[in-house]
Amino acid sequence: MSGATWPASARPSGSPVHRSSALYTIASHGYESSGVGSETPFGHGVIGVAARELAPIRIGHFSAEYAYGRAIRENLSACGLTSGLDAEIPLPGLSDVRSQLAVPIAVDGRRLGVLCAESARDLAFDYDDEDAMVALAALLGTMMLSLQHGADVPDERNRRTADRDATDGTPLSVRHFDENDSIFVGDDYLIKGVAGSIFWALMRDYASLGRVAFSNRELRLDPRIRLPELGDNLEARLILLKRRLEERDCGIRIEKRGRGRIALQVERPLQLVDIPRPLPNSVKRP
């Protein structure tokens, strides 16, 4: 059983964390639900500790105390009494996990993500498994940086407009909450944070200009998208957003259109609703 998580704000070792100190799941395998978009704070669990320390973490026996503490935490989270985890999307995991192995994906001290594997058996992972995961993480890190450095193309190639005849039907409500860039499509939660701001920028350009094609370069430079100054990891966020849309199957999709280019596919007309953040010290009057 394995998964991959990517920083919400990747950073070089020792520099300040930007905006959100968390990682988001972009892929998993072997679980009942993918958990794509679920959040893991830095320093929490084997994934968060591996990311914070930039070191592999291997656990062969889950203690009874750890299992009891996790059960309490999950119960509090389900009741809405904790704020450390994003309750809308649960983190994928085995209910009877006994062993875990988490390996950071990093290049020159720059955090790019974490690979994690788990098993229901005690001592399921040994030094050979750890070495293999470290080698895979190093390869993934190199590939990720290569894609980021070579993903930008001139904007002029990416200003294709939509075919309005393809968007007949009942309007689909898309709500954006400016306070944390949360997105709801219809009544369903989709995404939040930087990935949410990317999606909202795409939706606004589609609705106002009819645009369906975009380049990574223009998204990276767009002031509406609140990318961190260091280690923006735009490509990982686009992958996360693409997979969340595929899971929701809401009539909006993002497709790759060559290197450094993406395209929107919209099957219904849209109704965009932007909800501003509350004013400071605002008081609701009866």
pLDDT score of 26:
83
pLDDT score of 88:
63
CA angle 178, 36, 104 (to 5 degrees): 105
pLDDT score of 209:
92
Cα–Cα distance, 5 to 117 (Å, whole number): 11
Structural domains of the chain ordered from first start: 2-149 (3.30.450.40), 155-275 (1.10.10.10)
Cα–Cα distance, 28 to 47 (Å, whole number): 13
pLDDT score of 36:
85
pLDDT score of 10:
32
CA dihedral (56, 59, 65, 67) positive or negative = positive
* Six-digit token string for 111: 């955090």
Identify the residue whose tokens are 């450095």.
Answer: 149
pLDDT score of 208:
93
Strand 213-215's sheet: what is its strand order?
A: 213-215, 261-266, 252-256
* Six-digit token string for 12: 């070089």
Write the DSSP assignment of 236-286 as a string of letters.
HHHHHHHHHHHHHTSSEEEEE-STTEEEEEE-S-EEEEEEPPPPTT-----
Q: Are the beta carbons of 257 and 263 closer than 8 angstroms?
A: yes
3-state secondary structure 132-199: HHHHHHHHHHHHHHHHHHCCCCCHHHHCCECCHHHHCCCCEEEEEECCCCEEEECCEEEECHHHHHHH
* Ordered per-residue pLDDT tens for the chain, 286 residues: 445 555 443 322 332 233 456 788 888 888 888 888 888 888 888 888 898 888 999 988 775 445 544 554 555 455 554 444 444 677 787 878 889 999 999 888 888 889 999 988 888 999 999 999 999 989 988 888 777 665 555 554 445 555 554 556 789 999 999 988 999 999 999 998 889 999 999 999 999 999 999 999 899 889 999 777 655 678 888 888 998 999 889 999 999 888 889 999 999 899 999 999 887 765 554 5
DSSP state of 10: -
pLDDT score of 128:
92
pLDDT score of 8:
40
